[in-house]
Chains A and B, each alone.
Chain A
């Protein structure tokens, strides 16, 4: 059922009470990894990412019945996941009463605290560099760089014009390159 069924078919099965749960499980299995890594790159910590991922799918469970198929399912899922991440970060900031800069340095510290962290490896430097970006740029960079999302799709996820996203990605990539070269 997982790989052979399209999103449209899965949505139809979800609307049938008899197959609702099964269809949902297939949707979860199909998108869980992509969404997890999208969230993990934003939040760094696995436990936080796990919590947010569960919240994302609970939202999906509650709202999928009313999902209009004028957008792709994965775009809609990314949108929910991104919003949940940003909400989570916002809540963390409020809870800890810290500024955005302190929050970013907190995420950098989490990266450095990883048992596999190696400051000489480029992939770790890249993660540190990503955390230096403003939130919106960070999301744009990750959706384009890691998820290879077209700007048109990204504009639906982030409700921003493709041109603005292109510029944002350009700035983000330059900042990251500068960080890697200077650290």
Chain B
């Protein structure tokens, strides 16, 4: 390394502030023990990455040119001697009698309800051809377990769903019909139409109508003078011709 003084002198010439005490201190922190553990972590990673690749020394010792597949123990020994040394003890627990109960649970789901419980059927060998060898085949003592087998009513479950679906459908149709009846009622339908829309409709249909906007009911308010003025130009004969049925009420309005 170059003399620190030379570097400091160079820095003082370029940027004096950077040569001040404490500036070059690195403020970052690292997890405690990081450097102590680093080489061990690194080596385990290297072992992991090179696992499966035969070491030339080991290959020479074995006097084999072709790489051979390592047994699980050899493989784990190469990756982690610590793991290879640990006993493969299962730390998990199962409920008491779990495996005994399992023996009866598996056949009960596999055997169909058509089996006659009273029939004395010899034991049946079921081989899971590709996964299990003949020695691993499962013996199901059907005769002995048949009494424990409960028939499974697949239809009853299907029926439950069907009935539920029907009820939901009926309810839906009833609600639809009720709503539909109110909607088709013309009077109730008109309540939702605005007056302006009605006026537009009447105009389009050559009707003459002016919406009453100031009050809800229309009223005609004529005084006697108004009536007199209206009928002043109409003769009594014309009036009698228009309304001849009321002789008692005959009289001049003029």
Contact = CB atoms under 8 A, between A and B. Distances in A.
Interface of A: 17, 21, 24-25, 28-29, 32-33, 36-37, 40-41, 44, 46, 50, 53-54, 57-58, 61, 114, 116-117, 121-124, 126-127, 144-150, 169-170, 173-174, 176-177, 180-181
A123 B35 contact: no
Contact of A114 (B1, B28, B39): B28
Q: State the main secondary structure of chain B at its contact with A.
A: helix
B45 A58 contact: yes
A58 B49 contact: yes
B25 interface: yes
Given A54-B42, A122-B22, A127-B27, A145 B11 contact: yes
Chain B's interface size range is: 20 to 34
Contacts of B7: 144-145, 148
A24 B16 CA distance: 41
Nearest to B45: A54
A126 B26 CA distance: 9
A150 B2 contact: yes
B15 interface: yes
B17 A180 contact: yes
Contacts of A58: 42, 45-46, 49
27 contacts: A25-B43, A28-B42, A29-B35, A36-B38, A40-B28, A46-B31, A53-B38, A58-B42, A58-B46, A58-B49, A61-B46, A116-B29, A117-B27, A121-B27, A123-B23, A123-B26, A123-B27, A124-B27, A145-B7, A145-B11, A146-B26, A148-B2, A148-B4, A173-B11, A173-B15, A177-B15, A177-B17
A32 B35 contact: yes
B27 A146 contact: no
Contacts of B18: 126, 145, 173, 176-177, 180
A78 B24 CA distance: 20
Nearest to B23: A122
Q: State the main secondary structure of chain A at its contact with B.
A: helix
Contacts of A169: 14
A170 B7 CA distance: 12
Q: Which of B4, B35, B42 has the most CB of A within 10 A?
A: B42
A145 B11 CA distance: 9
B23 A126 contact: yes
Contacts of A61: 46
Nearest to B3: A148
A116 B27 contact: yes
A21 B27 contact: no
B229 interface: no
Given A123-B27, A148-B7, A173-B18, A32 B45 contact: no
A123 B25 contact: yes
Given A17-B57, A126-B23, 16 more contacts: A29-B39, A36-B35, A46-B28, A53-B38, A54-B45, A117-B27, A122-B20, A123-B23, A123-B24, A126-B24, A145-B11, A148-B1, A148-B4, A148-B7, A150-B2, A176-B18
